[in-house]
Amino acid sequence: MKKAAEQGKPPKPRPLGWMAVLLIMSAPAAARDFSDPFRVMPGDMATNSKVVQSTPLRPIPAPTLTTRAKADHDYSLAELSALALQNNPQTAAGWANVQAASAAVGSAEAAWLPRLSASVNATQSQSTTSTGFSIPQQRVLSPNLSLSWLLWDFGQRDAALASAKANTAVARFNQNQTVQTVLQNVAVAYYQSLADRVLIKVNEQSVANAQRALDAAQARYRSGQATVSDLYQAKAALAQAESTLATARQTRIQNLGTLAQAVGWPVDTVINLAPLDAVALPSLQQNVQQLLRDAVVRNPALQAADANVAAAHAGVEQAERANWPTISLSANQGLRYQQGQGQAQTNSIGLSLSVPIFTGFANQYQTLAAQAKLANALATRDVTYQATTLAVWQAYYSFQGAVAGIPGARAQVENATEALKAVQAQYQVGYATIQDLLTAQNTQASAEVTLAQNALNAYSALAKLGAAIGTLDSTDHHQTALPDPVQPPVDAASTMPLLPPPSAPLP
């Protein structure tokens, strides 16, 4: 009868069944959607964009300088470039990233070695029974030595090491790109400062010409050969020339601050530049298609983007292999010293198999994140490829256009200078008007500015072209100068210089 009654009862739930029921019930309702169990993936960008408000920060200390500018020294481009690599904090940050990435490789290599740890537990305990009887104190000392060694993980460590090595390559290419950018910024700012010096001389000459025109107008006015209108027009032209000169001087100070910052010095540093020599502009022998092919192979930003793709591939493999089991070796040796009982020793060794069954969807989201990083890396590489080729294309034709315009600008300067001399002589004898004189002055000044600007554009484009290709380094920087305005340009190199050759110009 008892057995029959027991057969009529519902079966007792097993512990494993209860655990499964509790697990399913405790999971959020969204967890039934296994593509995104916790609903954490973003929707469209428009509905998820938020403005992050910045918080006030403490005062930032000024950077520590390795070297300072010498007040009695005239710096060449090579010297400024070398100093920039020492002083500019961008290079220090890039090198620190390389060191961190290299250390990560060592950490990944360490995953193949066993882990050994020691521990010591010391306890003192005393118990009291409900009847008030006190058990004597027990003192226990337990030193222990443990060894654990991951023997097999189905490629997780290999993927982690591959990712770390690829990240090191990324860091090194990024450091190269940082150096390229620093040197490019120094070169462009240096050429701009040289051009500013020339523009100031041009504007000083314009002021002198305007003063001579005013003197001539006053002489003719006193002799009754000119009207008061001529006098006022000459005064207005002089005021405009003086205003332009003042602006050019302030612009030079501003651009010298840019050069100082590129070198890594405070923006108010006074930098003396070496004297200028009149030499010819260099030329490019390679065509743009060859330069584009060189850039695809050598540009460090593009190489870093490609290495980042390799790191992302390894990250995906590592995330996917996290779902595989692992086999580990463990060993343990311990001693136990208990008061009143002497010494006891324990030894153990064994293999363990760990199989991830349910990790709260953590592995799934890690895989999704790794796949998204891979997609981002691939798209970033494409963007970098386009940006690199566009930079080479633009710099190449900017250089060619600037160089092509220099002969015409030189001819314009020569003709405008001679025309100004003729009009000045004609005005003094009454064969030209004040408008003719002022127009000739403006034409001559404009021609000088155009020549200097073309040369500045040529050398700036050359520096940008070298950086875009990935061939710019500190050994390519040499003393440069503005070319002689009356000297025609000649080919200065049989191969493409990364920056102007020794004693090369910048008009």
DSSP codes of every residue in 8-56: HSPPPPPHHHHHHHHHHHHS-GGGG-TTSTT--S---HHHH--PPPP--
Lowest-pLDDT range of 29-43, 262-276, 344-358, 438-452: 29-43
Report the CATH number at residue 366. Answer: 1.20.1600.10
Spatial contact of 188 and 465, defined as CB atoms under 8 Å apart: no
The reported pLDDT for the residue numbered 477 is 39
Query: Could you read off the pLDDT of 36-54 as tens digits, one per residue?
Result: 666 666 655 555 555 555 5
- State mean pLDDT over 213-225: 88
The reported pLDDT for the residue numbered 341 is 74
Spatial contact of 181 and 90, defined as CB atoms under 8 Å apart: yes
User: Strands of 115-125's sheet, edge to edge?
Assistant: 115-125, 138-152, 326-338, 342-354
pLDDT confidence bin for 256, thresholds 50/70/90:
very high
Closest CA to 414 of 310, 333, 338, 486: 486
Task: Answer whether residue 120 is part of any domain.
Answer: yes
The residue that leads in pLDDT, 474 or 324, is: 324
Query: Could you read off the pLDDT of 409-418 as tens digits, one per residue?
Result: 999 999 999 9
Q: At what angle do helices 228-263 and 434-469 cross, to 10 degrees?
A: 10
pLDDT beyond 70 at 211: yes
Task: Answer whether residue 493 is part of any domain.
Answer: yes
- Between strands 115-125 and 326-338, the pairing is unpaired
* C-alpha distances out from residue 12 to 9, 16, 202, Å: 9, 12, 102
Please tell me the total count of domains within the chain: 1
CA distance 248 to 204: 10
Task: Answer whether residue 41 is part of any domain.
Answer: no
Task: Answer whether residue 406 is part of any domain.
Answer: yes
Task: Answer whether residue 99 is part of any domain.
Answer: yes
- State mean pLDDT over 128-155: 81
The reported pLDDT for the residue numbered 399 is 92
pTM of the full predicted structure?
0.71
Range of the domain at 140: 74-125+135-505
The region that residue 342 occupies, defined by phi over 0 for left and psi between -120 and 50 for alpha, beta otherwise, is left
Task: Answer whether residue 2 is part of any domain.
Answer: no
| Residue indicated by tokens 């450091």 | 175
pLDDT beyond 80 at 63: no
> How many Å is the maximal CA-CA distance in the chain?
148
Closest CA to 330 of 116, 159, 174, 178: 116
The residue that leads in pLDDT, 503 or 27, is: 27
Residue type (1 letter), 87: N
The reported pLDDT for the residue numbered 304 is 92
Residue 103's Cβ-side half-sphere holds a number of Cα atoms within 13 Å equal to 6
Task: Answer whether residue 296 is part of any domain.
Answer: yes
DSSP per-residue codes, 228-257: HHHHHHHHHHHHHHHHHHHHHHHHHHHHHH
pLDDT confidence bin for 447, thresholds 50/70/90:
very high
Task: Answer whether residue 12 is part of any domain.
Answer: no
Apex 87 CA angle, 85 and 89, nearest 5: 90
Mean pLDDT taken over the chain: 80
Closest CA to 347 of 363, 331, 361, 360: 331
pLDDT beyond 70 at 277: no
CA distance 281 to 480: 10
